């Protein structure tokens, strides 16, 4: 079941994201950051009261661009279309807000290609580079994520 995240989900989102960060799949996030950006998040659960098994966020960067980020589906639930459902919800929300450029920084290029994202240079995303990337320990020389964009 796909739904917008609720305050009660934050600790589970925190655990999922930071478990993923421990394996190098994404950067860690603090509880304070997650509470502050809770409205960005969608979650996927087996049922209304079930545990969160997938997360994804749509973050607005500027008047014309949004980012799909923090996508993660627990191992047991992968290859079931949950990641696609989460990203499509983020894309739909971005379009509803008239944000027609949506990007992701990812290691999963095949997945994002299947959603019609195209690879671009990170230099085409100055808003991201100067607001988030600049603070990352991998910036600028060690970033190995691929920038991808969907223009609708």
Q: How many CB atoms lie within 10 A of CB 49?
A: 7
Confidence of residue 136 (pLDDT cuts 50, 70, 90): low
Residues contacting residue 146 through CB under 8 Å, at least 6 positions apart: 105, 106, 107, 109, 119
**Amino acid 137: pLDDT:** 57
Query: If DSSP codes are grouped into helix, strand and coil, which group holds residue 46?
Result: coil
**Mean pLDDT, rounded, for 72-93:** 97
Architecture of domain 2-151: 3-Layer(aba) Sandwich (3.40)
∠ CA(34), CA(36), CA(39), 5° rounding? 85
What sign does the CA torsion over 19, 22, 28, 31 have? positive
Residues 68, 58: contact at Cβ < 8 Å? Answer: yes
Asked which of 7-11, 82-86, 87-91, 130-134 is least confident by mean pLDDT, the reply is 130-134
- The first and second tokens of residue 32, run together, are 């304070």
The span from the first CA to the last CA of the chain, in angstroms, equals: 26
**Amino acid 122: pLDDT:** 80
pLDDT in tens, 48-67: 778 999 999 999 988 889 99
- The first and second tokens of residue 126, run together, are 């100055």
**Amino acid 94: pLDDT:** 97
pLDDT in tens, 88-133: 999 999 999 999 999 998 989 999 999 999 999 887 876 555 555 5
Structural domain boundaries in the chain: 2-151
**Amino acid 74: pLDDT:** 94
């Amino acid at each position: 079941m796909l739904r917008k995240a609720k305050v009660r989900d934050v600790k589970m989102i925190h655990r999922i994201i930071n478990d993923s960060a421990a394996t190098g799949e994404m950067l860690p996030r603090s509880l304070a950051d997650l509470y502050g950006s809770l409205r960005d998040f969608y979650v996927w659960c087996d049922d209304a009261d079930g545990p969160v098994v997938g997360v994804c966020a749509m973050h607005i960067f500027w008047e014309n661009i949004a980012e799909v980020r923090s996508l993660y589906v627990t191992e047991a639930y992968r290859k079931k279309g949950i990641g696609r459902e989460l990203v499509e919800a983020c894309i739909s929300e971005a379009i509803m807000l008239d944000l027609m450029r949506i990007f992701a920084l990812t290691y999963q290029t095949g997945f994002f290609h299947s959603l019609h994202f195209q690879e671009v240079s990170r230099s085409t995303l100055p808003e991201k580079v100067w607001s988030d990337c600049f603070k990352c320990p991998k910036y600028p020389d060690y970033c190995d994520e691929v920038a991808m964009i969907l223009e609708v």
